[in-house]
Amino acid sequence: MYVGFSSSTGSALTSHYVLGWSFRANGEAQALALSRLPKLPQIGKKETSKALTIGLPWVVLFIISMLIWSAVYVMRRKRKFAEVLEDWERDYGPHRFNYKDLYIATKGFRNQELLGTGGFGRVYRGILPTSNIEIAVKRVSHESRQGMREFVAEILSIGRLRHHNIVSLLGYCRRKGELLLVYDYMPNGSLDKYLYKQPTVTLNWRQRFRVIKGVASGLLYLHEGWEQVVIHRDIKASNILLDADLNGRLGDFGLARLYDHGTDPQTTHAAGTLGYLAPEHVRTGKATRSTDVFAFGVFLLEVACGRRPIENRDVEGSILVDWVFSCWEKGAILEARDPKLGAEFVEEEMELVLKLGLMCSHPEPLMRPSTRQVLHYLEGDIPTPELSSIGSRLTFDHHEGFDDLAMPPSSMDKAFQLSSVADSLLSGGR
């Protein structure tokens, strides 16, 4: 209701607007003219921002694209780190590493972390992200499913070997068509680096002799000290790794074969490195403890002489074993020593190592000593063997009292001893 007063008459002129009707002073009602009503502010929808109208679809499209990209990234990442796990492997869970951890440890297997490359894969240095332990990771490719299964089973068996002169296999990881093996990291690398690749950095004789005895101890553990016989099949300087204290450790079991004590090893095929292969191994394909001893003999000469088993030269002496044998025949076996040693070596030890190298690399298997006998010689438990020859054949005398130091000999050892004694009786000492 609206009420108004006139200033001239003092009478009230009242106009009432109720429910669309107008009342005058005489009491008569008159229809209300809607056009005369005061206009109220119009209440309507706010204008939509032009920027929001244009930008909102793009924002939604961007969010959807990001979700799709994230899903694809996660799926690809899962495939990238996908691993293979079969029922027969579940029992070896504690030895299995996560591929992602190994990938991070080696910084994505960068070339800067590459330690070396061999016939069985590439080896990378790594640091485990959780424990900060240094490791060496070997990536082995193997496309055959059955072959991979056998190889993994064999490696896991070797993974239970524990000896201070054997590089420990810490575990493994399987991913698609490749196998990753995780070893203890050896900070000083392989022995051949000090013999050939860094002529200005050499090991002195004391260090070399300690490496030789350590490798012999590890080899005896493989041949006699474990639950099965382990034939390494690839003993050489490049497979001997040096720890922080320059102790020698036998590594790289990619060619190793296992069989039970008291049984004959199966004939497979000749495998190893040229210059270290025993003649009978090449002929028959059967790897035995004696073929390992042959390779160890070549290794002894390699360390003492600082020369490779076979050198690319047309002159006399390209075959290391033949060259050392010729030095012995002349009565000057010490001339075969590594000239880089100068006069800094122990003559008795050098002579022992060179003679043992010739004995172990004898072409006749029965003429080679056992690993246990070799270690007794190196430890000084028995005197240095006296070599002799019949024509071009090399023999050595059997010392009394040796049986008290050794375990009961095998049939091979007995045959070796009888042959050695017979030949020594027929020939004179040198």
* Each residue's pLDDT tens digit, 216-229: 999 999 999 999 99
Nearest CA among 185, 154, 380 for reference residue 268 = 154
Q: Is 234 among the residues known to form the active site?
A: yes
- CATH for 87-184, options being 3.30.200.20, 3.40.50.300, 3.40.640.10, 3.30.420.10: 3.30.200.20
Q: Is the model's pLDDT at 422 over the cut of 60?
A: no
Q: Which amino acid makes up residue 277?
A: L
CATH code 3.30.200.20 region(s) in the chain: 87-184
Q: Is the model's pLDDT at 419 over the cut of 50?
A: no
Q: What is the DSSP letter of 427?
A: S
Q: Is the model's pLDDT at 15 over the cut of 50?
A: no
**pLDDT band at residue 417 using 50, 70 and 90 as cut-offs:** very low
Q: What is the spatial distance between Cα 319 and Cα 323, in angstroms, rounded to a whole number?
A: 6
Predicted local confidence at residue 107, as pLDDT:
93
**Beta carbons within 10 angstroms of residue 405's beta carbon:** 13
Q: What is the spatial distance between Cα 256 and Cα 233, in angstroms, rounded to a whole number?
A: 6
Q: What is the spatial distance between Cα 32 and Cα 38, in angstroms, rounded to a whole number?
A: 12
- Mean local confidence (pLDDT), 401-427: 37
Q: What is the spatial distance between Cα 243 and Cα 238, in angstroms, rounded to a whole number?
A: 14
Question: Which two three-digit tokens encode residue 92?
Answer: 């070896």
Nearest CA among 391, 343, 405, 333 for reference residue 363 = 391
At 233, is the secondary structure helix, strand, or coil? coil
pLDDT digits (tens, 9 = 90+) for 285-333: 899 999 999 999 999 999 999 999 998 765 566 899 999 999 999 999 9
Q: Bigger pLDDT: 47 or 60?
A: 60
Distances (CA, A) of 416 to 24, 30, 203, 366, 369: 146, 144, 34, 5, 7
The answer to which of 136-140, 195-199, 313-317, 384-388 has the lowest mean pLDDT is 313-317
Q: Bigger pLDDT: 98 or 165?
A: 165
What is the end-to-end Cα distance of the chain in Å, rounded?
Answer: 145
- Mean local confidence (pLDDT), 177-183: 83
pTM: 0.70
**pLDDT band at residue 160 using 50, 70 and 90 as cut-offs:** confident
CATH code 1.10.510.10 region(s) in the chain: 191-364
Which entry of 87, 91, 192, 234 is annotated as an active-site residue?
234
At 377, is the secondary structure helix, strand, or coil? helix
Q: Highest mean pLDDT range out of 36-50, 200-214, 289-303?
A: 289-303
Predicted local confidence at residue 407, as pLDDT:
40
Q: What is the DSSP letter of 303?
A: H
Name the percent of the chain in helix, strand, coil, to the closest 5. Answer: 45, 20, 40
Q: What are phi and psi of 11, to 5 degrees?
A: -85, 150
**Beta carbons within 10 angstroms of residue 71's beta carbon:** 10
Q: What is the spatial distance between Cα 286 and Cα 271, in angstroms, rounded to a whole number?
A: 9
Which residues does 135 contact at the CB level (< 8 Å), separation at least 6?
105, 125, 126, 127, 128, 170, 182, 183, 184, 185
CATH placement of domain 191-364: 1.10.510.10
- Mean local confidence (pLDDT), 137-164: 73
Predicted local confidence at residue 297, as pLDDT:
97
